[in-house]
Structures are given as C-alpha cells and as structure tokens.
Structure 1
Amino acid sequence: MANNTKKLFPSQNHGPHCWTFFSTAAYAKRNKVPQENIPNVKAEKVTKEMLQGIEIALGLPEGSLQKPFYTRVQLWGAALPTNTPDIPCIFDPYGRAGICGDWLLGSSLEAAALSGMALAHQIADYCASGGSNPDEFGMGLHKEFTPIGGHDIGQFPGSELLKKQDSVSSEPAFV
C-alpha cells in the first residue's frame, strides 16, 4: 500500500489522502472480471475485503479504518509479466529512447523503482559523457526474453535483484 498524497505533498498532514493498495496474485485471480465492466457488487466486495486485509495487516480492530469517500477498483488480469530480458532498463542512445518497468527485473514495486532509477542513471551517464560514444551506453537492445521467476506485486525481493543483475550482464549496471 502507498499513500500517494504523501509522495506528492509530503508536508500535507490534513485533508483527504489518496492511497493505492495491491493484493496478492492469488486474490486477484479469485476476483478477476473483465476490466471494461467491473460489476458494482464485485467492486464493493473487493474494496471491503481489501480494507479488512489492511486492518489485519496493521493489527487494527475490524471496522476501525475510516470509510473512503471514493474508491476505484482496478482488476488487471495481465498486470504480472511472464517473461523479461532480465536487465534493469533498455536504452537506445541513437534513437534517444529508453524503457523501464517492473517487468524488466521481476514483478514488484521495488523492481519498477529500481528499473526507473537504472534508466535515469544510464541517461545521466550518457549525457555527462557528451554523447561522444553512444555504443558504450546502449543497454538491452539485443537481449533475449526469459521466463520471470517473479513475486506477487507489492512484495520486495530486496538485494536479490541487484545480485542477479550483476551476475547476468556484462553491460553497465545500476547498483
């Protein structure tokens, strides 16, 4: 779970806050419906159960969380990647394009953050070099895809990603 309001406005201590909650893959699979037409009954059930799960996780009494005044349920069936080039980011200095995302390193919020930071560092290093040797900074342009071992989204596999990344690629790596 993440408090989006605190990410955008860290000093805001009053007023409404916007939160994002992720379930496990097993829970998502049990509650999957077509994203284009989520029945109200399903959205209400998922919202209620997710709030109950948060109370349990935080050790709060049942029904103690303030009821949200607005919710939006997103039931992505294809949100978990199944294969990856197993690198932190893709960067093409000739095309001046980069790609980052959780699917490049796994299937977690941590993988998404590490991938974004890796791309930012790759671009910064390329720009700091003056762009004189673009071949040195291209990353992931010719990698084959392999099956992902993955974790439920929201889990944090930690330094496993960095160890794996260091041992897989001889290309520049984000550490």
Structure 2
Amino acid sequence: MSQEPTPELSHVRSDGSAHMVDVSNKAETSREATAEASLKTTPEVLALIATAGMPKGDALAVARIAGIMGAKKTSELIPLCHPLPISRVVIDFDLSSTDSVRIIATVKTRGVTGVEMEALTAVSTAALALYDMIKAVDKHAVITDMRVLAKSGGKSGSWDITPELRPNPEGELRA
C-alpha cells in the first residue's frame, strides 16, 4: 500500500516552532473568499429577526457590522495571519430556512495572501453577534456549519464548492 507524502505545514519551521510565513516574494493579485456559518434557533425567533423585532433591536444590522469589523481585525485575533488591506466585505443573511439563519461573508483584497481566514472570521463574528442579540429569547441557539465556500486569486487558483449559494456581484444572494 503506497502512502501519500504528508504535506509540510507552512507555519511550522523544521525545528517544530511556529512562525509567520514570509509572503514578501509572492505576487500581488486580486483575491476573494466566501465563507458561511449557521445559527440554529426557533421559528418564532426567526420571525423576530426578520422583522427587526428583537428586544435589543435590529439583530441583522448589528451582526452585519460585527462581521465587517471581524474581517478587518482578523490578524489581531488569529495568530500568524498577515494584516491585509481589505477592499470589500459583504455580509448576507439567508432566512429561508425554518430553523436557522445562514450567514454568508465575502471578503476581497488585492494582496499577496488570501482572505479565507478573514471570511471565516467575518461569519464567526457575525454569528456571535447574532447570538448575543437573540440570547434573551433563545439561550439554546446553536452556531454551526462554519466553512469556506470559495476562494479565488493567488498561485493555487480558484475553487468554489457551491456557486449557487454565493452572493452575486451586487452583494445579494442568488435565487
């Protein structure tokens, strides 16, 4: 039985210690990543979210701003992430499910490293803010299913696991 070689981890030196990857020789390109997360709650709470009827106010507006702020602060929160010049962050919410809010973030930059971590941080922060906004009416809400949906730019190219689930260029969810 042949065994595939284990890929080297880019953030670990030969002695096993962690380090920040040197990206100074990488080409600057346009880069984009989309990630998602879900917040599971009750149909009653979903109705309150959809009508901005939460006791604390408009939960989606607060979560959207939190997601944008999270993307911009990624390098301060996640060790070894490079600070990036974020050029765009789009946070969308899909309320079409009967038991959850789907949070989608797309982050863009022109730089030497990708924005997957910024997109993941955006959906994480938005989900946490949304939980904070609804916890008075649903302490049992669950944040789940966080993942990267797509990325483009850079040496490794582009991939997209679910193009129909990504926002369109205007930042709106596709039907």
TM-score w.r.t. structure 1 length? Answer: 0.26
Larger helix fraction of residues: 1
Greater C-alpha radius of gyration:
1
Point out which structure has higher relative CO (alpha carbons under 8 A, 6+ apart): 2
TM-score where L is the length of structure 2:
0.26
Higher fraction of strand: 2
